[in-house]
Chain A
Amino acid sequence: MGILDLPFSLDEISYNDGGIQTESSNVQIEVENDVKPLIQPYHIMEENRINSDHIILNRHAHIKFLRVGLKGLSSQAVGLDASQAWICYWIIHSLDLLGATLSKSEIERAINTLSACQNPTGGFGGGPYQFSHVAPTYAAVNTLAIIGTEEAYNVINREKLYEWFMSLKQPDGSFQMNEGGEIDVRGCYCVLATAKLLNILTPELTSGVAEFIASCQTYEGGIGGYPGNEAHGGYSFCGLAALEILKKTDYINSDSLMEWVTSCQMKLEGGFQGRINKLVDGCYSFWQGGSFPLLEGIYTKKNEPFDTCGFFDREALQEYILLCCQNQYGGLLDKPKKSPDFYHTCYCLSGLSLAQHYYIYDTIQDDFKENQELTTIVGKVSNLIRATHPVHNISMVKVKKITSYFSNSSIVNVDSTESLASSIEIITNKDKSSDN
């Protein structure tokens, strides 16, 4: 499939406004007009078509763009002052996917920076001296996992972090993003993904989360940020990935989620929109694309047969990312005419990784693994980047490494095989503290 080899002209597959022009259709047509000239030269119906082998990922330009970011950011970046842990993640994860090796000094500097973002509560703030917040905590722990050295792992204070996570827990199972902060599905994902990597997923931490997430699935099939909110790609991924961590994906209606998420892949552009009747955005390559391996996992567990080809158009997504989202001087972007930034570079590349690699759910290991025979690469073979983990969005090997490192560490200092005993201990401790 894909866009380029489809025997329809681009005009034939353009948006049909049915004679009713509204704001939504007008901006959609504008975007399509920006996208078409970028795709056209490679299209099957084009005379003197450029062979798709010439489509390349500007790996070196992207690596340079990312490394320049590590040297220094202009005063314009002040808006990211509370997202310094995120900048670390966006850049280091992107470099990792691109196969760049971090230098010793980069590793040391990253560890210094993230240590400075950590608070005595065990949580991480967006920068030094900033209150702990679950989103930068997720970003910081993921970054330390990518670095993958013992020194990096040792930055994390698991016991304190666990206590802090518990302090954010709400009666309905959800989590506040920070003390007194907003509550939405992002919090569930950030807490559980972090807790999973660090082996601090206890029954107390996970209780009620699946019910909360299920209540955020809307009549459209996708998941909103909070019960009643509109179905949205970012929250859908967070909700589904959190359920996967809980092994409770049966709490949502997977058929309606599948219907919704597949309908978000754009006909002409090949990328994804985040909500129905909104515009394509490169970052949803991951947020929406990330749902597919998880959905396949659900059908595998249910023993429902499906064809091993992926539920979405993997070629079309790669074509969108490679032809429409690359800045020639480095960095990736939302859509044509936009400027590149670290966030979009990270999530375009993560989406590219998911579209190239094929994941299957291994019911014995209870985790995802790659089936390399089904790798699909649009353009040059050298466009292949590292496989990202569909739940954690850090490379597969780094997930394995950190989970095995912490697999024998228990949160309450008892043998991890006695998880029942440990949960009882936590419950009794809790009772004691409430007596006081």
Chain B
Amino acid sequence: MDEEDNTTYVPYSKRPEWSDIEPIPQYDESLPRLIHINYDKEYTDAMDCFRAIVKKKEISERALELTEFLINYNPAHYYIWKYRQELLLKLNCDLKKELVNMEENTYSWMKSYQIWHHRQVLVDNLNDPVDEMETINVVLEMDSKNYHAWAYRQWLMTRFNLFDKSELDYIDDFLLEDIRNNSAWNQRMFYYNNRPSILLDAEAENEINYAIEKIKILPNNKCPWTYLKGIIELNEKTLLDYPDIEELCTQLKDDKSCIFPLSMYYDISLMKYKKNPTKESYENLLKILKELEDRDFRRVNYWNHKRNQLKFFNKQNDKSFD
């Protein structure tokens, strides 16, 4: 607080309209403690009054104002948020107005759990998605991988059945901007996995082509490769049902700067091997693993584990090709 504020600021405990409140200090000062935060005196004063309000279970306008003051001081205060929610509901406040009032705060505190949960509680009570999608859009425009914002978007879509096809265009815009945005890829999977209608073969085909297009733009990007697998699984098929994908892997697998096509090629070859284990295909698998180990040196142990799993398969199926 600057000089001027100091002269005009009256602590809550000194305000006439708060004279009935007996402030409660946080700690019993006679007991030595471990944590000492050197709070500003305005904050301590307000918190002492807040504790008294909670003790009285007071539901009032002044309590509401106090929670706003404290939240602005510290937006991570889950229990002040919770009390505010109770106040808003019990005082029959205009929840839509609260959402609008908290707009700026949402942008400032977009990485905090509390602000998102607050919006969720309000919207759930309103039983109306109001303009929440727009708020989320603003946040994602600033922080395109914001975990809370995507999670809240998913909750909102599920709660109000907002699975419009325009969601796919929205996601596509993110991927045109940054093809590596894994949050956007995940949202695409969420869309197909959670909308009320099931995935049709033609749609699966479309999505596979979509991923393949993105792979052709940038093969060295894990997202579309994983998405490809995910869509195929969602469609209850396997990689073996899509010769185009094998063809793609074959084309790209020799590029040493990238592991994903070779890794998927391994998956396909392993599936074939499990159907028809021959010495020749086994040796080919070992060769692929060796190459993966060389390129993906940070994961030597992982590829070694894949080799162990392959040998374990042989043992269980009485194949001894070593």
Contacts and interface: CB of A to CB of B under 8 A. Distances in A.
The winner among A16, A129, A133 for most chain B CB atoms within 10 A is: A129
Nearest to B178: A22
Nearest to B55: A129
Interface stretch (A162-170, A221-229, A240-248, A360-368): A221-229
Contacts of B298: 1, 265-267, 270, 313, 316
A120 interface: no
Contacts of A310: 301
Contacts of A270: 298
A119 B300 CA distance: 49
B73 A78 contact: yes
A307 B305 contact: yes
A70 B302 contact: no
Contacts of A354: none
Contacts of A74: 37-38
B189 A73 contact: no
Given A74-B38, A220-B230, A180 B222 contact: no
Interface string B34-51: 111111100100010001
Interface in A110-135: 110, 112-113, 116, 125-131, 133
Interface stretch (A33-41, A82-90, A190-198, A324-332): A82-90
B51 to A, nearest CB: 5
B32 A78 contact: no
Nearest to A72: B36
Contact of A81 (B28, B74, B217, B297): B74
B179 interface: yes
A275 interface: yes
The winner among A22, A267, A304 for most chain B CB atoms within 10 A is: A22
A185 to B, nearest CB: 12
Contacts of B304: 307
A316 B301 CA distance: 13
Given A265-B298, A306-B305, A232 B31 contact: no
A82 B182 contact: no
Interface residues of A, number: 84
Interface string B309-322: 10110000000000
Contacts of A84: 35, 37
A20 to B, nearest CB: 5
The winner among B34, B73, B182, B301 for most chain A CB atoms within 10 A is: B34
Contacts of A109: 32-34
A78 B40 contact: yes
Nearest to A88: B34
B139 to A, nearest CB: 15
A285 interface: no
B74 A275 contact: no
Contacts of B229: 219
Contacts of B150: 229-230
Given A16-B257, A82-B77, A113 B35 contact: yes
B26 interface: yes
A363 B28 CA distance: 48
Contacts of B178: 22-24
Contacts of A178: 78-79, 82
B189 A219 contact: yes
Interface in B164-207: 177-183, 186, 189-190, 193-194
B154 interface: yes
A220 B223 CA distance: 9
Given A219-B229, A276-B222, A307 B37 contact: no
Contact of A22 (B24, B74, B76, B180): B180
Interface of B: 24, 26-28, 31-40, 43, 47, 51, 54, 73-79, 82, 85, 113, 117, 120-121, 144-145, 147, 150-151, 154-155, 158, 177-183, 186, 189-190, 193-194, 217-223, 226-227, 229-230, 233-234, 257-258, 297-302, 304-305, 308-309, 311-312
Given A108-B32, A116-B27, A180-B121, 5 more contacts: A22-B181, A258-B305, A306-B305, A307-B301, A313-B300
15 contacts: A72-B37, A77-B37, A81-B37, A82-B74, A129-B51, A130-B78, A178-B79, A180-B85, A181-B78, A226-B154, A230-B186, A262-B302, A312-B301, A313-B300, A313-B301
